[in-house]
Structure 1
Amino acid sequence: MQSVNDNSAIEASHVAAHDRVAELRAIYDSRDASAAWLLCDQWGESAVAYRVISPDLSAEDITYGELRRESERFAAALFELGLRPGDRIATLMGKSREYLVTLLGIWRLGAVHVPLFTAFAPSAIAMRLNGSRARAIVCDEGQRGKLSAEGDVAMPSSLLVISTGQPGQEGYSFAGITEQHEPGFPAATLGPDAPLIQIYTSGTTGDPKGVVVPLRALAAFRTYAEFGLGLRSDDVFWCAADPGWAYGLYFGILATFSTGTPSVLLQGGFVPETTMEILFREQVTNFAAAPTVYRALRSADLVVSGPLRLRCASSAGEPLTPEVNLWARSVLGVTVHDHYGQTEAGMLINNHHHPMLHHDVRPGSMGHAMPGWKAVILDPEKDVELAPGQAGRVAMKVSESPLMWFTGYDGDSAKTAGKFTANGEYYLTGDNGLVDEDGYFRFSAREDDVIIMAGYRIGPFEVEASMSTHPAVAEAAVIAVPDEVRGEVIEAYVVVKDGTVSSPELAKEIQRWVKTHYAAHAYPRAIHFIGALPRTPSGKIQRFMLKQRRLEELGVRA
């Protein structure tokens, strides 16, 4: 039982956290707010922003002074090409020095960043470029080939392409146009409502939806950096998530830039041995990654080269399973804290690292609502708040959530309406869960069928749409099944066209088709051929029936 002194200390912490949220809102809600100043220029000339580590583990530091000068030159080049504040500029780039300069150059100009995941196939890229009305794209030279309009893929006709290839090649060269300009391009000052990012999320009932992130959302992102991640000025931070997705961009990039915390940026894909070596060699103190990273490290059963300095480890993107922390406490020396959020909001509910908001981590819980957000559980039928212990819809009360920045999907009023209750009082996360008497929230299920694999949110509709373009496929439905390492993996049920014979060879061909026509990470790991898909009377596919059948086959309880 808590004492009066304990309760007083908790109340004082809540007041202090509330005051800090108000301070951050004042900074990012200022009418003269400048993204370049807030994310780069305010930090010391010689302060290290990132240590960029190559696949061969060679490293290069980049300071805020270098980022300022190089992004000023790149912004000047963009301006000369005719790009202006508000224009959408996409990136199709891996993690690199050029990527960091590109982001700051876009924001210095006052333009809007459209992130693209490098595993996307041309059709997925074209949809996002056309949907955002992008005027330009900056890409790695190895990604340039995806931008050719072929077949049914229609790229924007007037798209400016800037690649990291050598000057003199087709299109514009990043180095070539940057070197033609001197530093000194003035930073745009556009205020809190100016769009900063246009990022796409997916669901089950249509195309991916565009989320426009305004500058003032940085207040929410920094609040999470300070309270959720517990970032300190003396940290060495490493967020292993890919910045082509929301968590990696919001908190692998913007959390660093907004706090000035020195960070690690690793080029190339995830390798367990490399990850453990960097945690040791760089003496990382604060680490964030998807649960699949921790599970893969656990499965690899690696011997650490020497003592680690980790004081904080965080997980986001999917629920964290208990066995991870049984391993983490003995090998990493810390407990991994589970965090919960969305593309449309940033992080909402966390097992916070900041000592001001410390609570014991309870297995299976995603923690407490973050300062600046009022999280509740709603009755799914009446949209009224439920008492602790009752399962319902996880929602945020808008009037008591000063960090709320999402106002709707770009050009999609119908989908926007579905994210709020009819009276606009609550923001609906689309997830189900419950909260206990101590304020701990637990995730139970997603309302839609979005699949979370290795931290990536994958909409079945996009995968199914890609599969349906295969000449042999009449219909397809995608489900998620449990996976020890990735959390979930995609499996598909396929109805073949008349006259087509199903076979293992055809299954492999369909898998390759999804890899090349949608995204390399989102192909179905297994394909089951079926005579007909289960449907509702209105014709909607009943994916839950397919999933229930598959789980029974696997001997897994639903």
Structure 2
Amino acid sequence: MSPASPRNMSDYEAVRRSFQWERPEHFNFTTDVIDRYAAERPESLALLWSDEAGRERRFTFAELKQRSLHAAQFLSSLGIRRGDRVFILMPRVPEWWFVVLGCIRAGIVFMPGTPMLTPKDIRYRLSASDAQAVISEASCLDRFEGLVGNGRVENWVAVGEAPAPWVRYEPGSGTGAHGSSFGPTRAEDPMLIYFTSGTTGMPKMVLHTQASYGLGHQITGRYWLDLTPEDRHLTLSDTGWAKCAWGKLFGPWSQGACNVVYDFRGRFDAAKVLKMLERQKVTTFCAPPTAWRALVLQDLSQFDLSSIRHAVSAGEPLNPEVIDSWKKATGLHIREGYGQTETVMVVGMFPSLEPRVGSMGKPSPGFTVAVIDEHGQEVPTGQEGDIAVRVAPERPVGLFQGYLGDEAANQACRRGDWYVTGDRAVQDADGYLWFVGRADDVIKTSGYRVGPFEVESALLEHAAVAESAVIGVADERIGQRIKAFVVLAPGHTPSPELAMELQEHVKRITAPYKYPREIEFVTELPKTVSGKIRRAELRGALKPA
């Protein structure tokens, strides 16, 4: 297999020079993009869904339009109005996409959550966001135990059978529906809220407008994923993560590509994924490093991957050995990229660039990205600093509106004319950026962001724990593993059995991916004079002398 030439960016520098953001007064991804493809290419395949059992469902752009119209009308019939906030928690079922497109069409602000969340996680999100409605699926209703009817949520909607007060969502075709009942949305109207973990406190609310992701992800879809209407694209992500918006919603559909969805509920099975890539003739493929590491351990010669022309990775740096193994088997270089929940793709190893193993690439068209110091000045080539995006005098479209209700966080991420991402990097003489690590204590594990405060809070709910501190430890397989340092309460003694009990405790009361894989019992924790935990000192103690 030989790599195909790039289709959308044959000259990186030329595209960078000529690129200009669209800045319309009004924009709506469903009406301006999905409905346009429904008119131009109504029978083209838009969504190709399959699951581990081999079941398959297919939907054209015309059907997407119809079903999103139905969803918008259904939600409106319940009294959910433009600007209302709806928390959505579903597995990878087609109805997730119909409901999300319906929300966008009607100007309803949707807030995705992963099915791995626990009732405690969900309670916080519903309260912090002042959600007016919840939409879920029958298999996820246990996540709402103790929450239904006990808060300010007015509407509980379920796909599939559900007891009262849940209202069953009937996924009708929407035939005969008209979009004229939903007026145009302004480009700066709120569209989407994600919850993202930070170093202190509970997850922050990241607000995106109709334009920031709906228009902004043309960068992701066109230039990094290199998509065209002839492509079948698969991104491995569940519906609760921003990566889903990147590669399973705005990225592929902004380019009219077919969105391939693989619905698996259990552990990641690399062999099944490879068979699915072969069966569905996927042409472009994005996976996190944890998945890539598992995929290349398979005998790739046993699978027909000849349909794949482009492969990418994001979330954390990818091991050179993995890139080399995939290239030997397929002839394709896994191209890395960098962005955040707060942004679209801001740095990428675009197909027209000479790949450099270990680098995340060069700045995206439409973005000025630099490595800066604590004073907001660009550092010399080869010197480590903070990754920053210029937001003045002109703010890029593909950037979030801000952190809702958290002015301190909004101030903290601004440094002069720059938005500071919180990540550190080095830029070489040729303009390639090389990731160094987080500037703060957020842990990146198996592609998920975990704030230490969340895990520490969960541990403190156990009677045996007096204090706790959590850090990330480098791990070749999952990027970072979560390690907890625990000071026990009087009357409790360290033991392997207690460590396992604490791990199971965290799994029960918060999302399972947040549990500490390693627990070390200590008599005290290093702290500043003001009483703050010095996590940097804990990390430093783990480094070899």
What is the TM-score when the length of structure 2 is the normalising length? 0.92
* Residues in 1 aligned to 2:59 and 2:340: alpha-carbon distance in whole angstroms: 30
* Residue of structure 2 in register with 1:85 after alignment: 82
Q: 1:113 to 1:18 in 2, by over 3 A?
A: farther
In structure 2, runs of 5+ residues without a counterpart are 1-8
Q: Match of 2:308, as an amino acid?
A: L
* Residues in 1 aligned to 2:535 and 2:449: alpha-carbon distance in whole angstroms: 17
Worse-superposed segment, 327-336 or 161-170? 161-170
Note the 1:506-521 alignment, pairs <5 A: 506-521=498-513
Query: Any idea what the Cα deviations from partners look like across 1:200-229, whole Å, max 9, x if unmatched?
Result: 111112221111100111222111211111
Return the match for 1:322 from 320, 323, 343: 320
Return the match for 2:157 from 139, 154, 162: 162
Query: Any idea what the Cα deviations from partners look like across 1:17-54, whole Å, max 9, x if unmatched?
Result: 444x42xx33xx32232232134211122121111011
* Residues in 1 aligned to 2:90 and 2:505: alpha-carbon distance in whole angstroms: 23
Return the match for 2:121 from 119, 124, 130: 124
Q: Match of 1:387, as an amino acid?
A: P
Q: Is the 8 A contact 1:391 1:432 kept in 2?
A: yes
* Residue of structure 2 in register with 1:249 after alignment: 245
* Residue of structure 2 in register with 1:389 after alignment: 382
* Residue of structure 2 in register with 1:5 after alignment: none
The answer as to 2:406 corresponding to 1:412 is yes
Q: Is the 8 A contact 1:147 1:155 kept in 2?
A: no
* Residues in 2 aligned to 1:18 and 1:96: alpha-carbon distance in whole angstroms: 41
Q: 1:503 to 1:11 in 2, by over 3 A?
A: closer
Post-superposition offset of 1:267:
0.6
Query: Any idea what the Cα deviations from partners look like across 1:229-276, whole Å, max 9, x if unmatched?
Result: 111222111011223111222322111222220121011143101111
SS at match of 2:345: strand
Q: Match of 1:195, as an amino acid?
A: P
The answer as to 2:262 corresponding to 1:263 is no
Return the match for 1:175 from 157, 170, 173: 170
* Residue of structure 1 in register with 2:537 after alignment: 545
* Residues in 2 aligned to 1:142 and 1:167: alpha-carbon distance in whole angstroms: 10
Note the 1:134-173 alignment, pairs <5 A: 134-149=131-146, 156-166=151-161, 170-173=165-168
SS at match of 1:277: helix
Post-superposition offset of 1:305:
2.7
Return the match for 2:428 from 436, 448, 457: 436
Return the match for 1:363 from 332, 357, 361: 357
Query: Any idea what the Cα deviations from partners look like across 1:383-439, whole Å, max 9, x if unmatched?
Result: 211121111111112236533533421011111000001x3x111011111111100
* Residues in 2 aligned to 1:246 and 1:13: alpha-carbon distance in whole angstroms: 26
Q: 1:121 to 1:12 in 2, by over 3 A?
A: closer
Query: Any idea what the Cα deviations from partners look like across 1:55-98, whole Å, max 9, x if unmatched?
Result: 11222111121122122122111111110011111111011111
Q: 1:296 to 1:12 in 2, by over 3 A?
A: closer
Q: Percent identity, please.
A: 32
Q: Match of 1:263, as an amino acid?
A: N
SS at match of 2:217: helix
Q: Match of 2:314, as an amino acid?
A: A
Q: Is the 8 A contact 2:66 2:175 kept in 1?
A: no
Note the 1:339-378 alignment, pairs <5 A: 339-353=337-351, 358-378=352-372
Query: Any idea what the Cα deviations from partners look like across 1:488-516, whole Å, max 9, x if unmatched?
Result: 11121111111122222222221122112
Note the 1:188-207 alignment, pairs <5 A: 188-207=183-202
Q: Match of 1:540, as an amino acid?
A: K
What is the TM-score when the length of structure 1 is the normalising length? 0.90
* Residue of structure 1 in register with 2:208 after alignment: 213
Q: Match of 2:191, as an amino acid?
A: L
* Residues in 1 aligned to 2:169 and 2:178: alpha-carbon distance in whole angstroms: 18
* Residue of structure 2 in register with 1:4 after alignment: none
Q: 1:168 to 1:377 in 2, by over 3 A?
A: closer
SS at match of 2:297: helix
Q: Is the 8 A contact 2:209 2:401 kept in 1?
A: no
* Residue of structure 2 in register with 1:292 after alignment: 290
Note the 1:61-72 alignment, pairs <5 A: 61-72=58-69
Report how many aligned residue pairs link the two structures. 529
* Residues in 2 aligned to 1:16 and 1:545: alpha-carbon distance in whole angstroms: 45
In structure 1, runs of 5+ residues without a counterpart are 1-9
Q: Is the 8 A contact 1:449 1:460 kept in 2?
A: yes
* Residues in 2 aligned to 1:306 and 1:483: alpha-carbon distance in whole angstroms: 31
Q: Is the 8 A contact 2:360 2:433 kept in 1?
A: yes
* Residues in 1 aligned to 2:305 and 2:257: alpha-carbon distance in whole angstroms: 22
Q: Is the 8 A contact 1:73 1:184 kept in 2?
A: no
Q: Is the 8 A contact 2:132 2:154 kept in 1?
A: yes
The answer as to 2:31 corresponding to 1:34 is no
Worse-superposed segment, 404-413 or 123-132? 404-413
Post-superposition offset of 1:170:
4.3
Q: Is the 8 A contact 1:92 1:118 kept in 2?
A: yes
* Residues in 2 aligned to 1:188 and 1:39: alpha-carbon distance in whole angstroms: 16
The answer as to 2:101 corresponding to 1:104 is yes
* Residues in 1 aligned to 2:168 and 2:323: alpha-carbon distance in whole angstroms: 46
Q: Is the 8 A contact 2:68 2:174 kept in 1?
A: no
Note the 1:42-61 alignment, pairs <5 A: 42-43=36-37, 44-61=41-58
* Residues in 1 aligned to 2:68 and 2:10: alpha-carbon distance in whole angstroms: 44
* Residues in 1 aligned to 2:44 and 2:174: alpha-carbon distance in whole angstroms: 26
Q: Is the 8 A contact 1:86 1:110 kept in 2?
A: yes
* Residues in 2 aligned to 1:60 and 1:402: alpha-carbon distance in whole angstroms: 37
Post-superposition offset of 1:182:
6.0
* Residue of structure 1 in register with 2:222 after alignment: 226
* Residues in 1 aligned to 2:307 and 2:287: alpha-carbon distance in whole angstroms: 17
Worse-superposed segment, 439-448 or 187-196? 187-196
Post-superposition offset of 1:173:
0.7
* Residues in 2 aligned to 1:264 and 1:162: alpha-carbon distance in whole angstroms: 26
SS at match of 1:389: coil
* Residues in 2 aligned to 1:319 and 1:39: alpha-carbon distance in whole angstroms: 33
Q: Is the 8 A contact 2:160 2:168 kept in 1?
A: yes
Post-superposition offset of 1:158:
3.0
Note the 1:331-342 alignment, pairs <5 A: 331-342=329-340
Q: Is the 8 A contact 2:507 2:514 kept in 1?
A: yes
* Residues in 2 aligned to 1:496 and 1:232: alpha-carbon distance in whole angstroms: 57
SS at match of 2:295: helix
* Residues in 2 aligned to 1:257 and 1:188: alpha-carbon distance in whole angstroms: 22
* Residue of structure 1 in register with 2:5 after alignment: none
